[in-house]
Amino acid sequence: MTQQAAHGTGKVYLIGAGPGAVDLLTVRATRILAQADVVLYDALITPDILALCPQAEKISVGKRSGQRSTAQVVINELLIDCARKYRCVVRLKGGDPMLFGRADEELTALESHGITVEVVPGITTAFAAAAATLQPLTKRGIARSIAFFTSATAPGEPDLLTLPNTDTLIQYMGGREAVVTAKKLLEQGRSPELPVVVVENCSLANERISRMSLRELEQGLGEKQGPVLVMIGNAMAQRPKSR
């Protein structure tokens, strides 16, 4: 369905699709998807979510670790081009657009062309993983600070990551990089018995939860088939009824 944008440009929505389960989208996200003329979506967006916008043209701009993906500059150009052709443009991202979602680059590109943008937040994977495991990220007397981080860098960008001294550490896109994290934490003097929870394919039917110590994390996670989130800290000690 093609609708010529009024006054030359349409409006672009950066929408967070959450961790993957279709029923974890916000009501606002669902409403806008039902009105979209075109949807530019990432590789981790599920078919169930795309089914919410049957009327829209769908453009895959898949960005997935370890696989070939559309360059960010090309995505920016596509968004600008779509805003000139359509009234309602959706950029659909996993999790929340404002956390490891390259939102700054897309916002800057659109704003520089005078294109109106609205951000619709989504449930970030860390909160979905905490809910799935029944494992709070904070705990009275044990953990009152959290840090989100990723080891992923832009091409040619040096890895200068310094792990913060917070109670709970959440590593997005963990996978093989989690081994390096474990080594760094052990070098910092963290306990080898520090609890670790690993969640793969969070919120989906093939979700997998693993529990281990920091020492065991240093030995690797083995082969993982989906996106991995790694949660580290004393707050991750298994509760009687946690998963």
Active site residue 224: no
| Domains located in the chain, CATH noted | 6-120 (3.40.1010.10), 125-236 (3.30.950.10)
Whether 48 sits among the annotated catalytic residues: the reply is: no
Catalytic residue among 11, 63, 93, 96: 63
Distance of CA 93 to the CA centre of its chain: 7
- Cα separations (Å) of 207 from 20, 171, 189, 201, 203? 10, 17, 32, 5, 6
pLDDT tens string 39-95: 999 999 999 999 999 999 999 998 555 555 679 999 999 999 999 999 999 999 999
Tens digits of per-residue pLDDT, 119-167? Answer: 999 999 999 999 999 999 999 999 999 999 998 655 555 555 688 889 9
Q: Which of 37, 42, 93, 96 is the catalytic position?
A: 42
Dist. CA 131–CA 95, nearest whole Å: 14
